[in-house]
């Protein structure tokens, strides 16, 4: 038993923290939020150079393949920034290609993901929104060696910035008959539009007679649901780690504010109602942290992970959202002044709440495991 | 990171040693855990463990402990819990907490005389903290100890004490300077339970007061001109609050635990056994949702316990983690009783022998989760401690002070 970070993990954490304090100040992040892309190409390049995008990619494709906990530490530190950008989307795409791609596809895409020259994402959900493959209704038509796509994918994270969109389409009548297409966003007929509003980086992707070669199929036609599920599950705790980092930052901000803000002649942290907000906040933070890291540890050590991952996502997405709510109770008016920075986190706590499935979805998956669940020590 | 204990070959061979020792020494328990016959068996196991140094595995060998390291202790706890046994195998949190304080604050003579009987399992010790006038405000006790020659004369009353199976030693916090400054007017005594003037009377309470055998009953202890030898004063006169700080910290959950809350696996087993409309209850979607609620709470309890266990045993700096774990356990306990109530309906509230399928466990837990809100400090006290340890609203200088003492 050892819950400390390894030296290697401490180094990763330090490198991201240094990067954030140097290049990603609150002012910079607020400016970036107003831009069309929402993140900085310089930051993205730096991440590629430092090897952050290749931590889960095999060495033969230029990655370092260091393990999920190491990558979790990276994502926590990014989330603490909060550093915006298509980090998670691209790593998720890498996991899917790693799981389902043939050698040529892996060589082509994984190498470029590892060195930071390819931004990629997954497009599953559609205007009739529901998370999971049941929500995939886009049906391609066949034309010789090509598929023709007409329709829309909604709520695609980082779709507006992506070079490659792994697009889920329905290719048969069975529930599981879906396929994945590797769609280059420069393909004629493919257009993306970043969604306006409280969401942080979601896009709509429209296909108008977009011609996609059948060679762009990822994996066997109609036999990819197990592989897709495995890749999604493996990536989920990394998204959780990003949320843990955000909740940690909200906790740190709230504690500091409880010391600095004076009302009625005393720091507000001396009032027990204010204390209660931070007490609840840190319970959500630590619940998120330890469910997430236990799931990562189970992945790295080849243990049964299904329940741990669903638990982590449910607890963490709820936890980040609640952490921000309590942070706003502590900060009151100050918290909603954009330049203070709290809302950078709040916005992500909302936008990531439903990413890869909202908490209720994951609790439902856990519920379905109940008839057969085995406890670890039995 | 490693959430599971890792074992060296030495530890694995220690595990074999523990297993075969327990095969020979673990008692066969049938019927009411709390019966005098079973209690005697648990006490004997305690003495046998004490001979091995396993009753207090991490305490120094010279005082009767085992002098064991972190990973070996984990093996011992695991093997005990595999057999549904705890260390100690009976209610002795007074010995556990008091022993820790004496190790820190006792004189050499006191350590030599007071600790071995505790660590060897020869005595059972109760803690006496709460008084009718002093609950969360422990330092406001009105139990007085007045020096008279080589003795102190103790008068007062303490409540919510001990269990049903008798006691040898009582420790308590008394006021030795009624006009003195708060926190600097208290003294901490180890008192033989058979001194003249001590009366112990059971209280009439809602239900089970905590974990461990013999904890179902709580008592009022009356001190009527009890003459306590001055050598039983630990930590010096008017230094009792410092002594108490040591055990209060442990009681606030800082010790951690590697044990799982059993309520999830119990609920799951019953949900698989019981039927609804001719199908196992566990296949019902609403039942599954309730099980998920219990799973979530107990998993988080377990993770907080593991974190604290690791931090405590590897001497990491701890601040709010103990009271956090304690607070979460108390409040999520109530949530779990609600989920169980929804899962099993009115069965949750009866121990009627012809109706209840849980051998009294469900009914008992509906009560004990409520009772558990106060021992070791109320849920609100845990939040106050967390706020202080986190340093909410406190300058750096104040935080340093808050980290040194628990008010």
CB A255 within 8 Å of CB B391: yes
Which chain B residues are closer than 8 Å to A258 by Cβ?
392-393
Which chain B residues are closer than 8 Å to A271 by Cβ?
393
Q: What is the CA radius of gyration of chain B?
A: 22
- Beta carbons within 8 Å of B241's beta carbon, 6+ residues apart: B139, B173, B183, B184, B186, B405
pLDDT of residue B212: 39
Q: CB distance from B296 to chain A under 8 Å?
A: yes
Q: What is the pLDDT of residues A167-218, one digit of tens each?
A: 999 998 888 899 999 999 999 999 999 999 999 899 999 999 999 999 999 9
CATH 2.40.110.10 domain range(s) in chain A = 121-218
Looking up tokens 């140097």 gives: A22
Report in angstroms the alpha-carbon separations of B120 from A84, A237, B109.
59, 46, 17
Comparing alpha-carbon positions, the chain B residue that sits nearest to A287 is B300
Q: CB distance from A339 to chain B under 8 Å?
A: no
* CA distance linking residue B406 with residue B243, whole number of Å: 11
Check B3 against A371: CB less than 8 A apart: no
- DSSP 8-class letter at A197: S
Q: What is the CATH number of domain A225-369?
A: 1.20.140.10
Instruction: Fold for B125-238, please state it.
Output: Butyryl-CoA Dehydrogenase, subunit A; domain 2 (2.40.110)
- Beta carbons within 8 Å of B298's beta carbon, 6+ residues apart: B260, B261, B263, B264, B332, B336
* Residue numbers of A between 280 and 309 with CB closer than 8 Å to B: 282-283, 286-287, 290-291, 293-294, 296-298, 307
Residue ranges covered by each domain of chain B: 9-90, 125-238, 255-404
Query: φ, ψ for residue A162 (rounded to 5)?
Result: -80, 145
Would the pLDDT of B4 be above 50?
Answer: yes
Match domain B255-404 to its CATH number in 3.30.70.20, 1.20.1530.20, 1.20.140.10, 3.50.50.60: 1.20.140.10
Check A267 against B3: CB less than 8 A apart: no
Check B300 against A276: CB less than 8 A apart: no
pLDDT confidence bin for B101, thresholds 50/70/90 = very high
Check A367 against B288: CB less than 8 A apart: yes
Candidates A270, A278, A363; nearest CB to B292 = A363
Q: What is the CATH number of domain B9-90?
A: 1.10.540.10
Q: What is the CATH number of domain A121-218?
A: 2.40.110.10
Would the pLDDT of B406 be above 70?
Answer: no
Candidates B1, B265, B327; nearest CB to A3 = B1
Interface predicted TM-score of the whole assembly (ipTM), two decimals: 0.95
Q: What is the pLDDT of residues B28-80, one digit of tens each?
A: 887 777 788 899 999 999 999 999 999 999 899 999 999 998 778 888 988 99
Q: What is the CA radius of gyration of chain A?
A: 21
Q: Whole-prediction pTM value?
A: 0.90
Would the pLDDT of B216 be above 70?
Answer: no
* CA distance linking residue B54 with residue B43, whole number of Å: 14
Match domain A7-119 to its CATH number in 3.40.50.300, 3.20.20.450, 1.10.3720.10, 1.10.540.10: 1.10.540.10
Q: CB A354: neighbour CB atoms within 10 A?
A: 18
Which mean pLDDT values do the consecutive 10-residue runs of chain A (378 residues) have?
Answer: 94 94 91 89 92 96 96 97 95 97 96 96 96 94 97 97 97 91 98 94 97 93 88 98 98 97 96 98 98 98 96 98 98 96 97 97 98 78
* CA distance linking residue B45 with residue B33, whole number of Å: 14
């Amino acid at each position: 038993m050892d819950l400390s970070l390894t030296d290697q993990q401490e180094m990763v954490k330090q490198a991201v923290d240094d990067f954030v304090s140097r290049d990603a100040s609150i002012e910079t992040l607020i400016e970036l939020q107003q831009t069309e892309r929402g993140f900085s190409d310089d930051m993205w390049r730096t991440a590629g150079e430092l090897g952050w995008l290749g931590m889960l990619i095999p060495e033969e494709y230029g990655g370092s393949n260091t393990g999920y906990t190491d990558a979790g530490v990276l994502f926590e530190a990014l989330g603490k920034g909060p550093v915006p950008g298509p980090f998670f989307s691209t790593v998720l795409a890498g996991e899917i290609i790693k799981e389902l791609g043939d050698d040529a596809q892996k060589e082509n895409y994984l190498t470029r993901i590892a060195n930071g020259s390819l931004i990629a994402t997954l497009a599953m959900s559609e205007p009739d929104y529901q998370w999971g493959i049941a929500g995939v209704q886009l049906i391609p038509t066949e034309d010789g060696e090509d598929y023709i796509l007409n329709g829309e994918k909604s709520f695609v994270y980082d779709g507006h910035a992506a070079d490659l969109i792994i697009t889920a389409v329905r290719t048969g009548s069975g529930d599981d008959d879906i396929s994945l297409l590797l769609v280059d966003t420069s393909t004629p007929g493919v257009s993306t539009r970043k969604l306006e509003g409280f969401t942080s980086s979601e896009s709509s992707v429209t296909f108008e007679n977009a011609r996609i070669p059948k060679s762009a199929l990822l994996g066997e036609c109609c036999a990819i649901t197990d592989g897709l599920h495995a890749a999604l599950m493996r990536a989920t705790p990394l998204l959780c780690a990003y949320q843990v980092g955000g909740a940690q930052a909200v906790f740190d901000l709230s504690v500091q504010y409880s010391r600095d803000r004076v009302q009625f002649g005393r720091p507000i942290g001396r009032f027990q109602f204010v204390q209660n907000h931070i007490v609840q906040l840190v319970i959500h933070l630590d619940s998120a942290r330890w469910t997430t890291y236990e799931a990562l540890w189970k992945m790295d050590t080849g243990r049964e992970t299904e329940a741990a991952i669903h638990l982590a996502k449910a607890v963490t997405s709820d936890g980040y959202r609640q952490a921000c709510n309590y942070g706003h109770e502590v900060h009151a008016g100050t918290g909603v002044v954009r330049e203070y920075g709290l809302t950078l986190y709040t916005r992500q706590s909302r936008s990531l709440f439903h990413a890869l499935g909202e908490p209720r979805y994951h609790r439902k998956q856990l519920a379905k495991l109940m008839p057969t669940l085995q406890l670890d020590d039995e | 990171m490693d959430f599971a204990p890792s074992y060296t070959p030495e530890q694995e061979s220690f595990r074999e040693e523990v297993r075969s020792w327990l095969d020979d020494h673990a008692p066969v328990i049938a019927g009411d855990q709390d019966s005098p016959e079973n209690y005697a068996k648990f006490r004997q196991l305690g003495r046998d463990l004490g001979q091995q140094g396993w009753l207090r595995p991490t305490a120094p060998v010279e005082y009767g402990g085992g002098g064991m390291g972190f990973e070996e202790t984990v093996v011992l706890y695991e093997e005990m819990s595999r057999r549904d046994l705890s260390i100690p195998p009976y209610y002795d949190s007074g010995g556990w907490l008091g022993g820790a304080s004496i190790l820190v604050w006792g004189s050499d003579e006191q350590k030599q005389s007071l600790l071995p009987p505790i660590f060897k399992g020869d005595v059972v010790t109760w803690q006496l903290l709460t008084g009718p006038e002093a609950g969360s405000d422990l330092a406001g006790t009105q139990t007085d100890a007045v020096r008279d020659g080589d003795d102190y004369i103790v008068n007062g009353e303490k409540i919510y004490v001990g269990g049903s199976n008798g006691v040898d030693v009582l420790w308590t916090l008394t006021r030795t300077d009624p006009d003195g400054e708060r926190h600097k007017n208290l003294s901490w005594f180890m008192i033989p339970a058979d001194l003249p003037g001590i009366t112990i009377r059971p209280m009439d309470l809602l239900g089970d007061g905590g974990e461990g055998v013999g904890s179902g009953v709580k008592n009022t202890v009356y001190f009527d001109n009890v003459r306590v030898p001055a050598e039983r004063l630990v930590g010096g006169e008017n230094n009792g609050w410092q002594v108490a700080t040591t055990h209060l910290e442990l009681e606030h959950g800082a010790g951690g635990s590697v044990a799982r809350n059993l309520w999830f696996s119990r609920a799951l087993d019953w949900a698989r056994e019981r039927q609804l409309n001719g199908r196992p209850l566990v296949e019902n979607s609403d039942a599954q949702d309730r099980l998920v609620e219990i799973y979530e709470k107990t998993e988080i309890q377990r993770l907080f316990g593991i974190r604290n266990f690791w931090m405590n045993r590897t001497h990491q700096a701890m601040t709010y983690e103990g009271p956090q774990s304690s607070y979460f356990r108390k409040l999520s306990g109530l949530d779990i009783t609600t989920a169980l109530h929804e899962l099993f309906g009115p069965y949750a509230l009866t121990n009627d022998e012809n109706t209840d399928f849980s051998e009294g466990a469900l009914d008992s837990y509906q009560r004990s989760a409520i009772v558990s809100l106060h021992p070791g400090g109320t849920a609100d006290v845990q939040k106050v401690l967390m706020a202080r340890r986190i340093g909410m609203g406190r300058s750096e200088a104040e935080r340093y002070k808050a980290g040194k003492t628990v008010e």
